[in-house]
Amino acid sequence: MDFTIREYQDADYTSCEALVNEAWGFDDIFAPPAFADLAKCLYAKGAALGSNYKRIVELDGEVGGLIFGLNQHLKKPGLSLGFRLSMLFRILRVKCEKPPTKAEFINAIENHELNRRKLINKTRNEIVLFVVGKKFKGKGLGTALWSTFLKDFKESGIETIVVETNKLGASSFYEQLGFQHLGDFDSPLHAFATPGGQPCIYTYEC
C-alpha cells in the first residue's frame, strides 16, 4: 500500500481538524455548533501552533493521519498573540445551550494543565497530537508515523518521549510501541470525551 509521510502544511489544517473531531467527537459534546467549532480550534489549531514537529500521512491524496510533537532541540514554538486574542474573543461571544458551559470548559482546561504538570514539566519532548482516521486504521499508517517520529527524534539526540493518553483510549497502542506508564492524573477535560476513563502519561526511552 502506497502512502506518503510529509511535513504538515497550513493547507492541511481543515483535514486535520476533521480527523481530530472524528476521534474526540467535539460536535457531540459541545452545543451549539459555534461552541463545538471553538473547542475544535482550541484543540487542533492550538496543537498545530504549539508543536515544532508536524508530519501528516497521505493515502490516495487524502490526509489519513497526523503526528505533532515537541522537540527541545528544534526552534521553540508558540501560540501567537493574535491566536490567543481571537480565541478569547470567540469565547466571550459564544453561547452554550447545554452543559458543559463555557465556565466548565475553561475550568477543565486550567485543571487539566495544573494536574498534568504534577507529572511532567514544560521542558519535555512529547507527542502532542497523534490521530489516524477511522477508515485508515489497520493499514499501518499509525505505525509508519510513529517510526518516522521516533527516527527523527533519535537523530536529534532525544532520549525520552512522553505522551498523554487515556486508559480507555490509546494506552494499549502506546504500550505495544514500547511506552511505559508514568502515572495517572485527574482531568475534567478528558471526562468530556471519555466518561469513566483515566487520563495518564506514558514515557518512551529512545
Q: What is the pLDDT of residue 1?
A: 66
Angle at 134 between CA 132 and CA 100, to 5 degrees: 90
Q: How many CB atoms lie within 10 A of CB 56?
A: 23
> DSSP alpha helices (H): ranges in 59-186?
81-93, 102-116, 141-155, 171-177
**Residue 38: pLDDT above 90?**
yes
- The CA distance from 129 to 61, in Å, is 21
> Half-sphere exposure of residue 9, counting CA atoms within 13 Å on the CB side?
6
Q: What is the pTM of this model?
A: 0.94
Residue type at 94 in one-letter notation: V
Copy the grid coordinates of residue 50: 504549539
Q: How many CB atoms lie within 10 A of CB 184?
A: 14
Q: What is the pLDDT of residue 132?
A: 97
For residue 97, name the pLDDT band (cuts at 50, 70, 90).
confident
- β strands within the chain, DSSP E: 4-7, 53-59, 62-70, 126-132, 160-166, 180-184, 199-205
| Class of 4-205 in CATH | alpha beta
Q: How many CB atoms lie within 10 A of CB 85?
A: 10
Q: What is the pLDDT of residue 81?
A: 85
Q: What is the pLDDT of residue 121?
A: 78
**Residue 21: pLDDT above 90?**
yes
**Residue 79: pLDDT above 90?**
no
Q: What is the pLDDT of residue 42?
A: 93
Q: What is the pLDDT of residue 72?
A: 94
Q: What is the pLDDT of residues 118-132, one digit of tens each?
A: 999 776 899 999 999
Copy the grid coordinates of residue 98: 447545554
